Structure 1
């Protein structure tokens, strides 16, 4: 799966025109003039009030470089903070924001009202509107190890105060640099007791923002200490690091730790003591997906590949079977993205945990390498014209093998996947509906050739999750193949197609709770249903969301793995009912044509022709060039 270097914080869609605000009598009109600079898509900013609520946000994601954009913001009297963000972490590259008011109501406590982010990924500027005596409560000490830690502060003002250590203890300074992927980075510091008993660490850190430096300090005794570094994506800390140091009575120590690959790194250091031997549990089998080179004790956690011969190719997969799984339990296929792997998506999707809680088996097939050396599932990308591997045949045959070998349900078998894995899920919906009951692509798309030939035996329920700012699989589609992947439908047209295929007549729209207001995105839920069928089509439209698996990274308002299983569970059928029988009373769509008998034209008036001879006129929003 491609990793996209993109951090979006508290963003609301922005129009590159002057916005005329209608302010109330108790509000002041504030003019914010943004010059987008050389890398407009990297910049964003927000105005946050004293309660921590975002009043207004600007995103340069879809703006032009070196262009000015004007917005009028209505603010009441009080304290505010201007939060400047750069997604790449190298400052704003000549961008800036001028803030002014005709009423002269703004006080920045500085010489001018031009805000720039000279370097890094984030900065804060305090100001007040018509209230010079207000106090901004979001400013304070954000280190939980400090005496004066403030649980309402989110801007550290270097005011943290720490206890002096006792005579026999050392004050350990800890400096963390979050590197290029701060949200993937975390660490824990243990002494021998907390490590051996698997107890609470002495202190810990979980990153949220890239290119940041965070400092803290704790008091420690003479002894041995271990730093367990964790990277959730499995590619190391990407320039991130931890530096620990102390200086007491001439006894000094300073060392920086980091690791460049894998999920874990272990670093030990001693304070006024000889080195200790650490026992580190983990997988010691070098053939396992999760081999831990630091492990000294095998803890039985090794994940080994299973193999399946198909079309003269030995294919790999991971099968997870919860303990005491019932006969005819559902089977869920989880497909990784382009360049990704079975173990990666197993880890970040946490689908095994969902399987334990709900009683289903999970299969993670491994794609083979293309001519560029990248792992993939073959959906016919434009740059892979010479690839001939039959992944539909492989996955269908593997499903039949697992159903037979492990007594899994032949009725309730499902597919989900990220990016390329989502694209593959659509291909399975079109070409393998006898095997798969429903699909749930995440950041997926249906490509033109697959769409043109899509003729499923059974109408199939679909649940798509997609970010409106996804810059890999575009929400608006790619009708001209500008990005090189090939021509694929926009998401609204994709949803329309499967809604029509399933003869759904009712749409329910809901804004899901914005549980995490720091992820820069919200979710609109669209659920299509009908009293004539149990099939449904869902769309989770992630407003300002990127190329993400919500709950793992990107949007954090939902755990999309849980939502996917909820959808599959609702779409499940009795094992006594074959999928064909469940829809036997509903005609199947054979093809769509316009009034002149042409298929796949841009004419919005379409004739839907069904296998029972019926014809239905519909206005279609599907446009394929």
Structure 2
């Protein structure tokens, strides 16, 4: 059972600021809040679809962090401008209790305060629903998330790589038990964005009696190994915003088994914030979460990865037809007299 009602009234707090930042093109996207039944649960999500869309389009499913709402995350992430420019559908699911059941031990995901639902069933059912309604191109559905949502993205990559063409993990690393338990059904295109000064999800990983997480480099290396990748190369990106106190470099692994691809964006001195070209958070957030990079935009970088990948096998290129050699003209037989002279 699926219900629809406008979500515009719930976004009034940030709509004016986002209008100026995103421009008129983004304003043409139709945003609705929808409800659906997944398993035994009633769930909700925001659907931002390009106005006038009548055919299946690429879809990016974006998962909020712990304690956030779908509408608040939509404003924070700033994905709408990228969606408008590239004409894809953005979907913002809402976690029950504002948290995701990301596969980590309960104590590591604040279950004592925030109780999640059956999120794997929800996200799979949501994906199937978008395809059944003709909204999503089944070969071009992608998933990205921040913090708790980023851990949930990894769980879906490990358990349902057959449904999503590529993944983007922001401000999250890999649970240590994924070294034994994460076995995607195929090589996965995946990228990580992480700050070296993240005060919430440490760049170097952390250990507790309940469980541990890998460092950001080891997390990316885990997927590089799963994808059969070889060596990696590091590239420093331009410091476009010299006032934000951060810089970015990206490490890319080479020689991965197709369609596998792995990248790690290292935000030097970056905090627990998603990089964005457009400012969507108050200055006070820096005090608690650390610095936010403005050299790159998480949505734009994620789409750059997503746009290269599809679940559809590449169309084989037919070999050119062989061109027959021209027939040799028949030779005039020589007379017996001429043969005698020879």
TM-score range, shorter chain: 0.7 to 0.9
Of the three residues 405, 410, 418, the one matched with 2:133 is 405
Deviation per CA, 1:250-281: give whole Å up to 9, x if none: xxxxxxxxxxxxxxxxxxxxxxxxxxxxxxxx
Does 2:120 correspond to 1:392?
yes
Does 2:224 correspond to 1:496?
no
Describe the shift of the 1:301–1:436 C-alpha distance in structure 2 as closer, same or farther (beyond 3 A). closer
Give the match for residue 248 of structure 2: 523
Deviation per CA, 1:196-244: give whole Å up to 9, x if none: xxxxxxxxxxxxxxxxxxxxxxxxxxxxxxxxxxxxxxxxxxxxxxxxx
TM (norm. structure 1) is 0.42
State the alpha-carbon separation in 2 of the partners of residues 300 and 518 from structure 1: 32
Describe the shift of the 1:452–1:290 C-alpha distance in structure 2 as closer, same or farther (beyond 3 A). same
Is the contact made by 2:95 and 2:116 (CA closer than 8 Å) also made in structure 1? no
Secondary structure of 1:513's aligned partner: coil
Describe the shift of the 1:429–1:527 C-alpha distance in structure 2 as closer, same or farther (beyond 3 A). same
Q: Could you tell me how far 1:517 is from its partner in structure 2?
A: 1.1
State the alpha-carbon separation in 2 of the partners of residues 555 and 463 from structure 1: 17
How many residue pairs match? The answer is 282
Give the match for residue 57 of structure 1: none
Deviation per CA, 1:362-404: give whole Å up to 9, x if none: 11000111xxxxx101123432567562211110110110011
Is the contact made by 2:30 and 2:49 (CA closer than 8 Å) also made in structure 1? no
Give the match for residue 377 of structure 1: 100
Does 2:137 correspond to 1:414?
no
What 5-or-longer segments of structure 1 have no aligned partner? Answer: 1-284, 370-374, 579-625
Describe the shift of the 1:435–1:519 C-alpha distance in structure 2 as closer, same or farther (beyond 3 A). same
Is the contact made by 1:288 and 1:305 (CA closer than 8 Å) also made in structure 2? no
Q: Could you tell me how far 1:407 is from its partner in structure 2?
A: 4.2
Deviation per CA, 1:65-109: give whole Å up to 9, x if none: xxxxxxxxxxxxxxxxxxxxxxxxxxxxxxxxxxxxxxxxxxxxx
The higher radius of gyration belongs to: 1
State the alpha-carbon separation in 2 of the partners of residues 403 and 565 from structure 1: 20
State the alpha-carbon separation in 2 of the partners of residues 492 and 569 from structure 1: 24
Is the contact made by 1:416 and 1:425 (CA closer than 8 Å) also made in structure 2? yes
Describe the shift of the 1:292–1:424 C-alpha distance in structure 2 as closer, same or farther (beyond 3 A). closer
Is the contact made by 1:289 and 1:304 (CA closer than 8 Å) also made in structure 2? no
Give the match for residue 556 of structure 1: 294
Is the contact made by 2:167 and 2:191 (CA closer than 8 Å) also made in structure 1? yes
**RMSD, matched Cα:** 2.9
Give the match for residue 154 of structure 2: 426
Describe the shift of the 1:513–1:382 C-alpha distance in structure 2 as closer, same or farther (beyond 3 A). same
Describe the shift of the 1:352–1:300 C-alpha distance in structure 2 as closer, same or farther (beyond 3 A). closer
Of the three residues 448, 452, 455, the one matched with 2:183 is 455
TM (norm. structure 2) is 0.75
State the alpha-carbon separation in 2 of the partners of residues 557 and 363 from structure 1: 25
Q: Could you tell me how far 1:353 is from its partner in structure 2?
A: 1.6
Question: Greater strand share, 1 or 2?
Answer: 1
State the alpha-carbon separation in 2 of the partners of residues 300 and 409 from structure 1: 21
State the alpha-carbon separation in 2 of the partners of residues 365 and 511 from structure 1: 34
Larger mean CA deviation between 532-541 and 308-317 belongs to 532-541
Give the match for residue 205 of structure 2: 477
Deviation per CA, 1:385-435: give whole Å up to 9, x if none: 675622111101101100111242212211111111111111111111111
Give the match for residue 243 of structure 1: none
Question: Greater helix share, 1 or 2?
Answer: 2
Q: Could you tell me how far 1:492 is from its partner in structure 2?
A: 1.3
Does 2:192 correspond to 1:467?
no
Q: Could you tell me how far 1:318 is from its partner in structure 2?
A: 0.4
Does 2:58 correspond to 1:330?
yes
Of the three residues 240, 245, 267, the one matched with 1:542 is 267
Describe the shift of the 1:535–1:339 C-alpha distance in structure 2 as closer, same or farther (beyond 3 A). same
State the alpha-carbon separation in 2 of the partners of residues 487 and 416 from structure 1: 22
Of the three residues 555, 571, 580, the one matched with 2:309 is 571
Deviation per CA, 1:92-128: give whole Å up to 9, x if none: xxxxxxxxxxxxxxxxxxxxxxxxxxxxxxxxxxxxx
What 5-or-longer segments of structure 2 have no aligned partner? Answer: 1-5, 17-26, 282-291, 316-342
